[in-house]
Amino acid sequence: MMAAGAALDVAGLTRAFGGVHAVREAGLHVAPGEVRAVIGPNGAGKTTLFALIGGQLAADAGTVRLDGRRIDRLPPHRRAGLGVAVVFQAARVFTGLTARENVMVGAHAVTAAGFVAAALRLPVHHREERLIRARADECLARTGLTAWADRPAGELPLGQQRALQLARALCGRPRLLLLDEPASGLRAAERERLAGLIASLRADGLTILLVEHDVAFVMRLADRITVLHLGRVIADGPPARVRADPAVIAAYLGSTVERRAAA
């Protein structure tokens, strides 16, 4: 059911907010089917980087390529149509809709007929609706949520709500999935389940970018790690090498000292 993972190439990507250089000349290459973790101290630019790739923010400079095709000037829905899905940390489920309806919304966002046909009640809409419902049920099954399909999303435990956000993203048939702190706030058992789910998506060949503060989670899941500090990429490589990198250790120690000093 999964589309093949796409390659992501980012070069010279830059975005400032007033005088704050949130992302500065960032570059990374992510191979198809890779799980890439993006880590860095608070304010390093991780969420901004994701928004620049997803198109929610426009870059001041630089390029983003999906399988070699430039997407950095496209609006978010066009990038989504090409297979880029971003699940932001602040993303919420629609608590009043059922789990299935939440996932169906994800599919509507990228279907051709979409909401216009729905509003006009065109025949194409009914056919599409059935297809989307079937697709939503596949995505619910894929994320272990079949038993929750008809429950209001607000009644789902937090771990299942995270899985639901993933299911909603999967419904758009992504080829590149960006997850901003998917494990934050989850208990150990829920983290385990989520890690298993992400590993199984990787096994299907999906390319995944992951921002995560839980180092153990990252070390276990990621093929490679990119480290951002003050908007710049300061390290990039396999987990064991990045963990031992003096520049990475200094960046984290520095930010810890700054936080202590500020406290």
| Residue 40 contacts ligand ATP per CB under 6 A | yes
Q: Which is nearer to ligand ATP, 20 or 120 (CB)?
A: 20
Contact with ligand ATP (CB under 6 A): which of 33, 43, 81, 152? 43
Contact with ligand ATP (CB under 6 A): which of 13, 28, 37, 44? 44
Q: How many C-beta neighbours within 10 Å does residue 81 have?
A: 16
The strand pair at 224-229 and 232-237 is best described as: antiparallel
Question: Distance between CA atoms of 106 and 85, rounded to whole angstroms?
Answer: 10
What is the closest distance, in whole angstroms, from the C-beta atom of residue 15 to ligand ATP in the complex?
8
Q: Which is nearer to ligand ATP, 64 or 110 (CB)?
A: 64
Q: Which is nearer to ligand ATP, 47 or 207 (CB)?
A: 47
Cα-to-chain-centroid distance, residue 44:
17
| Residue 48 contacts ligand ATP per CB under 6 A | yes
Q: Which is nearer to ligand ATP, 22 or 132 (CB)?
A: 22
* Strands across the sheet containing 8-17: 20-30, 8-17, 61-66, 69-70
Q: Which stretch binds ligand ATP (CB under 6 A): 2-10, 38-46, 150-158, 236-244?
A: 38-46
Q: Which residues 6+ apart lie within 8 Å of 192 measured at CB?
A: none
Q: Which is nearer to ligand ATP, 43 or 144 (CB)?
A: 43
| Residue 42 contacts ligand ATP per CB under 6 A | yes
Q: Of 72, 78, 87, give the one whose Cα is nearest residue 170.
A: 87
At residue 3, the 3 state secondary structure works out as coil
Residue type, 133: R
Residues in a beta bridge with 227: 39, 235
Question: Distance between CA atoms of 211 and 179, rounded to whole angstroms?
Answer: 6
Q: Which residue has the tokens 């389940």?
A: 193
Q: Which residue has the tokens 């494990």?
A: 183
3-22 footprint of ligand ATP as x/- string (CB under 6 A) = --------------x--x-x
| Residue 119 contacts ligand ATP per CB under 6 A | no
Question: Distance between CA atoms of 105 and 115, rounded to whole angstroms?
Answer: 10
Element (H, E) at 246: helix 246-262
Number of residues interacting with ligand ATP: please give it, by CB under 6 A: 11
Q: Which is nearer to ligand ATP, 40 or 106 (CB)?
A: 40
Q: Which stretch binds ligand ATP (CB under 6 A): 44-52, 97-105, 112-120, 247-255?
A: 44-52
What is the closest distance, in whole angstroms, from the C-beta atom of residue 180 to ligand ATP in the complex?
8
| Residue 46 contacts ligand ATP per CB under 6 A | yes
| Residue 45 contacts ligand ATP per CB under 6 A | yes
Q: Which stretch binds ligand ATP (CB under 6 A): 46-54, 69-77, 90-98, 182-190?
A: 46-54
What string of DSSP letters covers 145-187?
-GGGTTSBGGGS-HHHHHHHHHHHHHHT--SEEEEESTTTT--
- Return residues touching ligand ATP (CB under 6 A): 17, 20, 22, 40, 42-48
